[in-house]
Amino acid sequence: MNGLDIDYDRYDHVRPIRWTGDALELLDQRILPYTVVHAACRSSDEVAEAIRALTVRGAPAIGIAAAWGVVLAGRGLETGDPVDAARQLEPALQRLNAARPTAVNLAWALTRMRRVLAGAGRDWCDALEREARAIEAEDLAANRAMGRAGAALIASGSGVLTHCNTGSLATSGFGTALGVIRAGVADGRIARVFATETRPWNQGARLTVWELAQDGIDATLIADSAASHLMKTGQVQWVVVGADRICANGDTANKIGTYQLAIAAKHHGVKFMVVAPSSTVDMATAQGDLIEIEERDPGELLSYKGRRTVAEGVRAWNPVFDVTPHGLIDAIVTERGVLERPDATRMQALFGA
C-alpha cells in the first residue's frame, strides 16, 4: 500500500497499557520522563480514577483502558447470566464513562463492551476479555494503516510540527499523528520534526520528545508560542495532530492550542492534517460547538509540581481542548481512508453507514 517501506517495530518501542490477567498496568504518564513506572489497577474504579488523573491519557488509550476496566468489574461478579451481569455492571460503566468528557473513544469502547455483553452467553466474562483484547489490537492495526496513508501525503524533505502527545503513549501502539511522523521518518519523507511543549500539562515536552527519543527519532521542542514564527521561517510544511472527537461535518476537537495552530498554518500556507481512528469519529454530533469541552483544575496553570508559581489571588481558566473548524483542515486520515478538504458530505460518504 502506497509503496512506503516501513519497519514498524524499529520505530515503536513504548507500550502504555499491559494486561497481566489480574490487573491493568498503566505506564504512569504523570511522572514521565524521569520516572518510568507502571501503576497497577485492580478494579474498574481504579481504572476510572487513572483516566481522570491522566495516569493514562490520549483518546484511544483511555478507550482501551476503559474496556479493560469493564473486564475488571466483571471479575467481581458471580452470576452466569449475562443480562444480570449487564445490570450489575452498568454503574461501573457509567463511572468509567464519566471520567473524562471530550474524547469519544471512551464512550465508543464502553458501547462495544455493552454490545458484547448483550450477545454473550454464560461465558460473558471471557467474551468481555476477548473484546478488550480486540479493541486494543484493532487500534494498533489502525494506527499502522493511518501511518502509511498519512505519510504518503507528505512530500520528501518536509518538516512537520506536532502538538500534544499522539504516540504509542496515547494509543495501543505506534500512535495516530505520531504514527504518521514515525512512518514518514522511516520512509525518509520527513526531514525535520518539531513538537510543541503543549502547556499547561506539557504532553509535548514530557511525553512526545521522550517517546521519539526511545525510537531514535530526532525531534526539536518549541514553546507553544513559537509555532507561528516556526511556520514563517519555512521549516515546516505540515502540522500533524490527533483528535479526541471528529464531528459529522469534520469539525475536530483536540488538545487546547490545536485551533490556533490551524489558523496560523492557514495564514502561512502550511498544510494541516488530522489523524485519528474511526473510533474517534462521532457522526451523532453534527458540529463542533456541540462538543463538551473538558475544563480541568486551574491549579495546572497556577503551580508547578504542587508549588504555586503565580501570585496569590490570581484566577485561571483551564479548558483543555478546543475545536478546529473543518474549513481549516486539509486532510483527515483514518484507517478507512483519507478525506481531503473534509466536510459533512465527505464525512457522510465515509462514515455514514
Q: Contact between 187 and ligand MRU (CB under 6 A)?
A: no
Residues in the interface with ligand MRU (CB under 6 A) total: 17
Assigned C-alpha cell, 205: 515536552
Residue of 139, 244, 251, 322 with catalytic role: 244
Q: Between helices 105-119 and 59-75, what is the axis angle to 10°?
A: 40
Least Å distance between CB 242 and ligand MRU? 3
Q: Which is nearer to ligand MRU, 89 or 328 (CB)?
A: 328
122 secondary structure, DSSP code: T
Q: Which is nearer to ligand MRU, 33 or 77 (CB)?
A: 33
| Rounded Cα gap, residues 135 and 67, in angstroms | 8
Q: Across the strands, what pairs with 332?
A: 274, 339
Q: Which is nearer to ligand MRU, 70 or 240 (CB)?
A: 240
Q: Contact between 171 and ligand MRU (CB under 6 A)?
A: yes
- Given a contact cutoff of 8 angstroms between Cβ atoms, the answer to whether 72 and 47 are in contact is yes
Assigned C-alpha cell, 352: 455514514
| Rounded Cα gap, residues 323 and 329, in angstroms | 11
Q: Which of 44, 55, 172, 176 binds ligand MRU (CB under 6 A)?
A: 176
Buried b (16+ CB within 10 A) or exposed e, 106-125: bbbbbebbeebbeebeeebb
- Please give the residues from 92 up to 131 whose contact with ligand MRU meets the rule CB under 6 A: 103
Q: How many residues does the chain have?
A: 353
Examine the residue annotation and report whether 244 is marked as an active-site residue of this protein.
Answer: yes
Cα dihedral 215, 205, 277, 230 sign: negative
- Please give the residues from 138 up to 167 whose contact with ligand MRU meets the rule CB under 6 A: 164, 166
Scanning 54-62, 77-85, 229-237, 300-308 for contacts with ligand MRU by CB under 6 A, the matching segment is: 54-62
Q: Which of 16, 60, 147, 184 binds ligand MRU (CB under 6 A)?
A: 60
- Please give the residues from 199 up to 228 whose contact with ligand MRU meets the rule CB under 6 A: 203
Q: Which residue is nearest to ligand MRU (CB)?
A: 242
Phi, psi of 246 (to 5 degrees): -115, 120
- Given a contact cutoff of 8 angstroms between Cβ atoms, the answer to whether 146 and 242 are in contact is no
- Please give the residues from 274 up to 333 whose contact with ligand MRU meets the rule CB under 6 A: 320
Scanning 10-18, 120-128, 150-158, 170-178 for contacts with ligand MRU by CB under 6 A, the matching segment is: 170-178
Q: Contact between 264 and ligand MRU (CB under 6 A)?
A: no
Rg (CA), the chain: 20
Interface residues with ligand MRU (CB under 6 A)? Answer: 57-60, 103, 164, 166, 170-171, 176, 203, 242-244, 254-255, 320
Which residues participate in catalysis according to the annotation?
244
